[in-house]
Amino acid sequence: MKIDKIKKLPSGKYKIMLDNNSSIVTYDDVLIKNRLLFDKSIDSKKYEVINTDTNYYNIYNKIIKMISNRMRSVKQITDYLISTELSKVEQDEILSKLKDIGLLDDVRFAKAYVSDRLYLSNNGPDKIKSELLDLGISMDIVLNELSKIDSNILYDKLKRIISNKVKNNHKHSNYMLKQKLLISLVNNGFSRDMIIDVFESYVDNSSDIINSEFSKLYNKLSRKFEGNDLYRKIKEKLFQKGFDSASINGVIEKNKNF
């Protein structure tokens, strides 16, 4: 086979048109590597090499595009390369190239990841740590980046989350609300002590919630019970909902007298 024409495409690739009416779309690196601008003759072996080299650069350029859209860890790119048909030597070569030109750097990745998760999610340090380790970032890098987090940022983040939950709480006792928040926020990677500290500063100590719950229970249970039995049942239900004895006795006495 001989090359009739080489045409540059709008995509930046090159189209090699052969005298047998077939064509190959490839890259300038492949043209240069295989001296196709000078040697117009292509035998079956060279044709196979061109296709192999083209596939290599297809994968390489796809990775460049992946990284340009969003930073990736070395492990993420390694996992992707393993899924391709490239040899181990070719995979290592691509990883080395990407590291040399600064497109693969776990320190930079970890720094950017911590910043994104702090400001764009409800995740705390422990969950961010777990996520980074899953992404293949070394423990030393993870701990170093997490140590740079300003505790004021974490407090402000917790204040925003907890104040919103407290503000929109129309059902749970302070105790139950605290337990729910502890479970949720500890799972999201925040420290228990910090959660409690912030919660105590935002908790609503008004009697509106217990009064509301008393009314609901009274309307429901008064269909089956009356007198002391009714108030005993209400007391049991309020206690199960996490209200303290003093608050329960207070609301019952208030409504009994009324």
Q: Are residues 131 and 195 in the same domain?
A: no
The CATH number of whichever domain residue 139 belongs to comes to 1.10.10
Q: Are residues 165 and 191 in the same domain?
A: yes
Domain count, the chain: 4
Q: Are residues 74 and 11 in the same domain?
A: yes
Q: Are residues 157 and 125 in the same domain?
A: no
What is the extent of the structural domain holding 237?
Answer: 208-257
C-beta of residue 119 within 8 angstroms of C-beta of residue 180: no
Q: Are residues 7 and 93 in the same domain?
A: yes
SS3 9: coil
Distance CA 98, CA 193 (A): 42
Q: Are residues 52 and 90 in the same domain?
A: yes
Q: Are residues 45 and 96 in the same domain?
A: yes
pTM: 0.73
Each residue's pLDDT expressed in tens, for the chain with a length of 258 residues: 899 899 999 999 999 999 988 999 999 999 999 999 888 889 989 999 999 999 999 999 999 999 999 999 999 999 999 999 999 999 999 999 999 999 999 999 999 999 999 999 999 999 999 999 999 999 999 999 999 999 999 999 999 999 888 888 777 777 788 899 999 999 999 999 999 988 877 665 445 667 777 787 888 888 888 788 888 888 888 777 667 677 777 777 777 764
Q: Are residues 63 and 32 in the same domain?
A: yes
Q: Bridge-partner residues for 2, per DSSP?
A: 41
- Single residue among 100, 118, 134 that ends a domain in this structure: 100
- Residues counted in the chain: 258
C-beta of residue 192 within 8 angstroms of C-beta of residue 182: yes
In angstroms and rounded to an integer, the radius of gyration of the C-alpha atoms of the chain is: 33
Look at the block and give the residue holding tokens 């492990």. 75
Sheet holding 23-26, edge to edge: 3-8, 14-18, 23-26
